[in-house]
Amino acid sequence: MSYFALIPAGGGGARMGAALPKQYLPLAGRPMIRHAVAALLAVPAIARVFVVLAPGDVHWDGFDWSGFEGRLCVLRCGGATRAASVTNGLRAMREQAADDDWVLVHDAARPCLLPEHVERLIAEVGDDPAGGLLAVPVADTLKRAHEPVSDGVRVAATVAREGLWQAQTPQMFRYGLLTEALEYAPAVTDEASAVEALGQHPKLVAADATNLKVTWPLDLRLAEAILRDRES
């Protein structure tokens, strides 16, 4: 049984409003995606990290990936959606992964992942047949909005936060189960949703808010502050 990581990185990150695809934006002196790759490869249990790029990606080869030789594999088979990129990556891994091997899917835009997060996920999921994912309990009061009207958006209802968790990545599932799940539910926004569609109940493993996803320009500044603080 082996552990592999897979990073879908075929998108452009339009909400960042940047000239470069989001995963390549400079962050603490390196392209954003390199931080995620480095964190995963710092975990001895991870045999290899597969990065799924868009077929026409022209940016990857312009960066220095030295130090990762032998454990970093680029797959130029990204699809139109995250789920399609993960599915294509799984297919491309077929000769190297057995059905019982574990695949940890991680966002390229979560650069503040720590090796300790990954090791906790692996340890707490153990041999759980449904797999699991990093997540944090929702702390804020949640509001459901009405459809926007002429004078703005208004509250429709307050949503109880008890029992609600905010999903993060990595999300960790057996290769065979994850492949089956994504073929069954290809329109999902994360891997756990696909596994849930098969009737499984993945395990929630508590992480923390530093494992944030960079979506908006302010998130990039927050990630920079987190990484710089760890260096000091």
- Residues in contact with 20: Cβ distance below 8 Å, sequence separation at least 6, in sequence order: 59
Is residue 174 domain-resident?
yes
Across 207-231, b (16+ Cβ under 10 Å) vs e yields beebbbbbeeeebbeebbebbeeee
Total domain count, the chain: 1
3-state secondary structure at position 45:
coil
- Residues in contact with 116: Cβ distance below 8 Å, sequence separation at least 6, in sequence order: none
CATH assignment at residue 87? 3.90.550.10
Q: What is the pLDDT of residues 65-82, one digit of tens each?
A: 999 989 999 999 999 999
Q: What is the pLDDT of residues 183-215, one digit of tens each?
A: 999 999 999 999 999 999 999 999 999 999 999
Q: Is the pLDDT at 84 greater than 90, yes or no?
A: yes
Is the pTM here over 0.85, yes or no? yes
Q: Which two tokens stand for residue 159?
A: 């949503």
Is residue 204 domain-resident?
yes
DSSP label at 105?
A: E
Distance CA 98, CA 89 (A): 14
Q: Which helix (H) or strand (E) holds 192?
A: helix 191-197
Is residue 157 domain-resident?
no
Is residue 158 domain-resident?
no
Task: Tell the residue number behind the tokens 């789920």, with chain if given.
Answer: 83
Is residue 153 domain-resident?
no
Is residue 155 domain-resident?
no
Is residue 45 domain-resident?
yes
How far from the centroid of its chain's Cα atoms is residue 64's Cα? 22
Is residue 197 domain-resident?
yes
Q: Which domain holds residue 74?
A: 3-131+167-231
| Residue 14 confidence (pLDDT) | 54
Q: What is the pLDDT of residues 106-133, one digit of tens each?
A: 999 999 999 999 999 999 999 999 999 9
Pairing of strands 142-145, 155-159: antiparallel
